Structure 1
Amino acid sequence: MSKLVFVHLYNDRSGSPKVLSQVINATCRRGYSAELLTSYNPDGVLNGLPISQKNIFYRRSENKIITLIYYIISQLLLFLNCLRYFRQDVVFYVNTLMPFGAAVAAWIMRKPVIYHIHETSIKPKILKSFLRFIVNLTATKIIFVSDFLKNEESFFNKEQFVVYNAINVDSVLISPEKKDDKFNVLMACSLKTYKGVLEYISIAKHFVENKEFDFYLVLNADSKEINVWFNDVSVPPNVKLFSRQTDMTSFYAKSHLLLNLSRPDEWIETFGLTILEGMSFGLPVIVPPVGGPVEIVENEREGYLISCYETQRVVDSIKKMAADSELYNYFSNNAIAKANFFSLSEFEKNIIDIIDL
């Protein structure tokens, strides 16, 4: 049985490293020998996994040119790091399109490469074209997180699979009935404009005079980054900002509704793990009408498919759900039922089957 070398560039608490942690745990239970190459981050979701972890260089900057330079340096160092596996029987498992240095090293050493692709909205286009070229050159197998992504990014003459992301629904014991008198609206996302942060603020402003609503915005950033970002943004008093969380359970448990307001012309969600997590707690959702969310949410069944640019429709839908308990419970029960289809056990089985092929 070949050793698996997992490679992930940025070890934060976003969806793609969460999914990789599930893959790693599944392969460990299967008995695979494995190592993980990823950047150092004391709050990263990939910390503490039951395999050897080696840190790789990666940094970001507010300056895009500097970030690009850091990225190029990181891939050169990653390439050199991976060459040490030359005499070992290994399979490289490259998570996301970004760590191309590992794939190139594997190709030179004639080692198999499994790509797990999560993203489509990569800019500039020349970078995305280059990363796709590397996949075409090096990949043995390719895993996509949704049918949408496979159709959008499919590659010629490659073994390609769709494995939906999953959650451990057995661990969700929270009742969909909320104890809070207020109607709490939750959004959890990266601190990026294209994630719809400003649209969320705009929607919340429609409810300032209505004390029955609160808005929770959980951002994948620290307090300093949040303060700088919102320095020139007027945040209404009904919006509560929260920094990066290690556990979202309490937010899902006390919320009534989950929003995803990614701008469809700037960032297409290819799956939406946060959407699925919220639904498992009985939260109806309002999500974009394009991309992966369409494969999770049926309009007017688990919630609504509405573009973030249709602010008034979002506002009206929130008010409608808050006022109509029968409709809300219908959405809530359907959300729980749909989440049960995305079980962790099925995800692990599908991943292991692909690796074992």
Structure 2
Amino acid sequence: MIHAFHLLNDFSGSPKVLRQVLQGLAAEGHPVELHTSLSGRGFLSDIPGVGLRDNRYRFIQSVPRRLLLLLFSQVYVIVSGWKRVRATDTVYVNTLLPFGGAILGWLCGARVIYHLHETSVNPWMFKQFLLFWVRVCATEVIYVSDFLAEEEPLNKSRHVIWNAIPEDFSLRAAAHLRRRTTVENVLMVASLKRYKGVDEYVALADACPEFHFELVVNAAPADIAAYFGHRRLPGNLIVFPAQQDVHPFYRRADVVVNLSRPDEWVETFGLTALEGMVYGLPVIVPPAGGIAEIVPVGYAGYHIDGRNTERLAGRLREWRSNPDRYRKHGAGAREQAGQFTESRFLERILAIVQAGKTSEQRKTVQMLESM
């Protein structure tokens, strides 16, 4: 049995990646049980062949109350799963946050695999608390980029496996590729957080009235209204709430940007940039982190600090005035995206899980032979 743990089921990047992992494991015949929040829908809802168990967590705005709920949730996971996890099982912990699953697996003598997506966890003491449980409980660690592996070195068996685009996403993108003759529409898909560059994106839209900007945030309409309050948004910017299907946005877009602040939130991979590249769209990403690894400068786009509005605007206008360069970067982006296939990603994940299973089987045989 594989027990997977993820804190919040929503439409952000890490649950999207976990869905790919669990679908692949279930398709290979592995029994899988997922412990996550069932308070709302997200990418982890309705995965064929995967059982669901509620971790009793939900997102709330108040940070102190959210932290208390997180702690309660992880204690609940340990207590409720105590008789469900066996030493022969594999525990798969997605991100640093669901540490209760790791403790449960460790206490039960199970193999514990951490899949780490992030490094920018605040405050510092909370991050050290989470890393402590990785050091204590993990059998091995999967990193989403070389940058993350170097940023958070742990004395564990480690693997660097870049995220991948789901095959169905690639097929839908391939069916709607179009020859773009001009640059008009800019897209950013991000969480509704200041460190994600939301305010910088608004500033960029204000500075470039000749372009049309769309912002898709992983938040409800009420949260969007609360965030922007009575601010005047540029007339060429439209803000959309969380979307289960982002394909229509990529089809309309000519450029995709990620403006996360590199000194506050280092992007360890950058799935939305890769999704844009699958559509043949040049991208602009921060100059640091794992996201910079996947975007060759001058081939698939540029690395620019999102707070440099003048330089961002200059690159957009450059692509608009130089169609040949824009098409060259778009072709490079699509070619680069071809390296991140789901089949290659799942092959490596399954090899790790299967290697552990084989090891467990050997231990069982040795134990039986000694009796």
Q: Please give the TM-score of this superposition, normalised by the length of structure 2.
A: 0.92
> 1:340 and 2:341 equivalent?
no
User: Which residue in the other structure is 2:89 paired with?
Assistant: 90
Tell me how far 1:234 sits from its aligned partner.
Answer: 2.1
> 1:78 and 2:77 equivalent?
yes
Between the aligned partners of 2:87 and 2:31, the Cα distance in structure 1 is 12
User: Which residue in the other structure is 1:186 paired with?
Assistant: 187
Asked if the contact 1:12/1:41 (under 8 Å) is kept, the reply is no
Tell me how far 1:82 sits from its aligned partner.
Answer: 2.0
Between the aligned partners of 2:161 and 2:77, the Cα distance in structure 1 is 27
Asked if the contact 2:91/2:111 (under 8 Å) is kept, the reply is yes
Shift in CA distance, 309/340, structure 1 to aligned 2, threshold 3 Å: same
Asked if the contact 1:57/1:77 (under 8 Å) is kept, the reply is yes
Between the aligned partners of 1:87 and 1:58, the Cα distance in structure 2 is 24
The one-letter amino acid of 2:25's match is: T
The one-letter amino acid of 1:196's match is: G
User: Which residue in the other structure is 1:16 paired with?
Assistant: 14
Correspondences of 1:308-327 after superposition (within 5 Å): 308-327=306-325
Between the aligned partners of 1:292 and 1:277, the Cα distance in structure 2 is 15
**Structure 2 spans left out of the alignment, 5+ residues:** 356-371
Which sits farther off after the overlay, 235-244 or 76-85? 76-85
The one-letter amino acid of 2:28's match is: R
SS in 2 for 1:322: helix
**Structure 1 spans left out of the alignment, 5+ residues:** none
Between the aligned partners of 1:245 and 1:178, the Cα distance in structure 2 is 24
Give CA-to-partner distance per residue, 1:1-27, whole Å, 9 cap, x none: xx1011111000111000000000111
User: Which residue in the other structure is 1:221 paired with?
Assistant: 219
CA RMSD after TM alignment:
1.3
Tell me how far 1:318 sits from its aligned partner.
Answer: 0.6
User: Which residue in the other structure is 1:29 paired with?
Assistant: 27
SS in 2 for 1:268: coil
The one-letter amino acid of 1:219's match is: V
Between the aligned partners of 2:5 and 2:157, the Cα distance in structure 1 is 20
Give CA-to-partner distance per residue, 1:244-284, whole Å, 9 cap, x none: 10111010011000010000110000000111001000110
> 1:230 and 2:228 equivalent?
yes
Shift in CA distance, 4/198, structure 1 to aligned 2, threshold 3 Å: same
Identity across the alignment (%): 40
Asked if the contact 2:39/2:57 (under 8 Å) is kept, the reply is no
Asked if the contact 1:43/1:246 (under 8 Å) is kept, the reply is no
Give CA-to-partner distance per residue, 1:108-155, whole Å, 9 cap, x none: 111110100001000011111111110010101110000100111120
The one-letter amino acid of 2:157's match is: E
The one-letter amino acid of 1:199's match is: E
> 1:306 and 2:304 equivalent?
yes
Shift in CA distance, 299/86, structure 1 to aligned 2, threshold 3 Å: closer
Between the aligned partners of 1:70 and 1:307, the Cα distance in structure 2 is 35
SS in 1 for 2:133: helix
The one-letter amino acid of 1:67's match is: R
Asked if the contact 2:8/2:59 (under 8 Å) is kept, the reply is no
User: Which residue in the other structure is 1:286 paired with?
Assistant: 284
Asked if the contact 2:87/2:110 (under 8 Å) is kept, the reply is no
The one-letter amino acid of 2:81's match is: C
User: Which residue in the other structure is 2:363 paired with?
Assistant: none
> 1:102 and 2:104 equivalent?
no
> 1:163 and 2:165 equivalent?
no
Shift in CA distance, 136/321, structure 1 to aligned 2, threshold 3 Å: same
Give CA-to-partner distance per residue, 1:68-99, whole Å, 9 cap, x none: 11111111111112212245731110100101
Asked if the contact 1:176/1:283 (under 8 Å) is kept, the reply is no
SS in 1 for 2:20: helix
> 1:123 and 2:125 equivalent?
no
Tell me how far 1:182 sits from its aligned partner.
Answer: 6.6
Between the aligned partners of 1:203 and 1:272, the Cα distance in structure 2 is 20
User: Which residue in the other structure is 2:358 paired with?
Assistant: none
Asked if the contact 2:78/2:101 (under 8 Å) is kept, the reply is yes
Between the aligned partners of 1:162 and 1:182, the Cα distance in structure 2 is 35
SS in 1 for 2:248: helix
> 1:354 and 2:356 equivalent?
no
Give CA-to-partner distance per residue, 1:39-71, whole Å, 9 cap, x none: 014431101102111111112322211111111
Between the aligned partners of 2:148 and 2:18, the Cα distance in structure 1 is 17
Shift in CA distance, 234/30, structure 1 to aligned 2, threshold 3 Å: same
Asked if the contact 2:74/2:99 (under 8 Å) is kept, the reply is yes
Asked if the contact 1:178/1:255 (under 8 Å) is kept, the reply is no
Runs (4+) of structure 1 moved beyond 4 Å? Answer: none
Which sits farther off after the overlay, 169-178 or 113-122? 169-178
SS in 2 for 1:264: coil
The one-letter amino acid of 2:141's match is: I
Give CA-to-partner distance per residue, 1:285-340, whole Å, 9 cap, x none: 01001001111001111011001121100010011111111010000000000011
**Across the two proteins, how many residue pairs are aligned to each other?**
350
